Amino acid sequence: MELIRGIHNIRSKHKECVLTIGNFDGVHLGHGAILARVKALAKQYNSPSAIMIFEPQPREFFGPETAPGRISRLRDKVKLLEGHGVDYVLCMPFSLKLQQLDAQAFCQQILLDGLSVKHLVVGDDFRFGCDRQGDFYYLQEFGGRQGFDVENTPSVLNALDERVSSTLVRDALERGDIAAAQLNMGHAVSLSGRVRHGQQLGRKLGFPTANVHLKGTKSALSGVYAVTFLVDGVSHNGVANIGVRPTVQGKTPILEVHLLDFSGDLYDKYVQVTFCHFIRAERKMASLDALEKQIQCDKEEALRFFANQ
């Protein structure tokens, strides 16, 4: 699969595609059904299959403080999309220039001139263009005039007859229900990144951690978890905190992992952290001594969890 950053990098081989557009946060089972349809249509048309995503996501652009937390970071999302066998992902920088395109300009400049779309698959609640003036029916009308078809995305229901969506997954994560999130995603809940130097506070408390900076990304995950930690192809057990660390007046979200069965230098290693079991919510402790005692309790619960697996 090819990752293309920006419409200006589209080449002739990418055009005349079967396209879907969305955030694809978490790449859940509903997304999987959409991608299966896109691939089937691409085979029928003998065309490339394509996904358009935006970075940042539109709600993050308009209101970063009020935007929902992400289920997956960009790199994790692209890796998950690659697993579905699409030909390319077009990552569009969501900027003021793009936001100011009206519906007509978006369809003409992006869909027609930029991509020469043959078939478009979107949700019937899809909105686009300046002030969200464009909708599914506008796309159908435009496509009808320009010679490409537009169709609805299929809905996927889970065992509880709930429509699988990123909101459903996000709600499960926010209440610490990892099992429900995994059920609706069809894969594990994980984040990846590079280990960076931190404040060394964990080491001072006797619990050295590998720190993965989230680069300002607001995550749907928060709190303390039993996790597995994949580095250099080997998986290790750990206990992780993801959040702002209120006890030490932290402000920037960070993922900290204390490994239960590993010692060694992890700095600058690229790692994948998989969330297995929710232990507790992040909260401010009265003192560093209280924090140390709580971390020991968290570690013991993580050890019990893995012992029972």
* Eight-class DSSP state of 219: B
Reading the block at residue 171, the tokens are 């709600």
How would residue 55 be classed by pLDDT, with cut points 50, 70 and 90? very high
Say which CATH topology domain 167-307 has: Elongation Factor Tu (Ef-tu); domain 3 (2.40.30)
- The yes or no reply on domain 2-152 and CATH 3.40.50.300 is no
Domain with CATH 3.40.50.620 in the chain: 2-152
Q: What is the pLDDT of residues 150-182, one digit of tens each?
A: 999 878 999 999 999 999 999 999 999 999 999
Q: Long-range pairs for 292-298 at CB < 8 Å and ≥24 separation?
A: 292/205, 292/206, 292/207, 295/202, 295/205, 295/207, 295/239, 295/258, 296/207, 298/224, 298/239, 298/241
User: Considering Cα of 273, then 51, then 150, then 37, what sign does the dihedral take?
Assistant: negative
**Confidence (pLDDT) at 123:** 84
207 pLDDT higher than 80: no
Q: What is the pTM of this model?
A: 0.92
pLDDT of residue 205: 45
Helix (H, G, I), strand (E, B) or coil at 79: helix
Q: How confident is the model at residue 202 (pLDDT cuts 50, 70, 90)?
A: very low
Name the segment(s) of the chain with CATH classification 2.40.30.30. 167-307
H helix count then E strand count, the chain: 10, 12
3-state secondary structure of 289: helix
Helix (H) or strand (E) holding 234: strand 234-243
Burial class (CB in 10 A: 0-12, 13-18, 19+), 30: buried
Query: In the predicted model, is pLDDT for residue 213 greater than 70?
Result: yes
In angstroms, rounded to a whole number, what is the distance separating the alpha carbons of residues 27 and 186? 9
